[in-house]
Amino acid sequence: MRVLSYFLLGAFFAVVACGQTAVEHAGATAGASAASAGATGVGKSVGGVFRSLSDTLDKAGKAAAAGSPSAASVTTVSAPPKQPSRPAPVSKPVDPSQVTVGLYGVEVIKRFGEPVMRLTETSNSQLVETLWYKTTTDDQIEIKVSGGKVISIRLPESKKQEEEAHN
pLDDT tens across 71-96, in order?
455 566 666 666 666 665 566 788 88
Q: Who wins on pLDDT, 98 or 24?
A: 98
134, 93 Cβ separation under 8 angstroms: yes
Q: pLDDT tens across 131-157, in order?
A: 998 888 878 899 999 999 999 999 866
Q: Give the pLDDT of residue 77.
A: 64
What was the pLDDT predicted at 55?
83
**Given a cut of 60, is residue 123 above it in pLDDT?**
yes
Output DSSP code: residue 119: E
The amino acid at 21: T
Q: Where are the domains of the chain?
A: 1-32, 96-156
Q: pLDDT value at position 15?
A: 61
- From residue 54, give the alpha-carbon distance in Å to each of 35, 49, 51, 60: 30, 9, 5, 10
Per-residue pLDDT reduced to its tens digit, 26-74: 666 666 555 555 566 666 776 777 788 788 878 877 766 666 555 455 5
* 3-class DSSP assignment, residue 114: coil
Has residue 112 got a pLDDT over 60? yes
Beta strands in the chain (DSSP E): 117-123, 126-134, 140-146, 149-154
Closest CA relative to residue 153, chosen from 141, 139, 137, 140? 141
| Cα–Cα distance, 162 to 155 (Å, whole number) | 11
pLDDT in the model for residue 130: 93
Distance of CA 164 to the CA centre of its chain: 42
Q: What would the CATH number be for the domain defined by 96-156?
A: 3.30.1450.10
Give whole-number Cα distances, 77 to 10, 30, 55, 60, 95, in Å.
Answer: 75, 50, 24, 18, 52
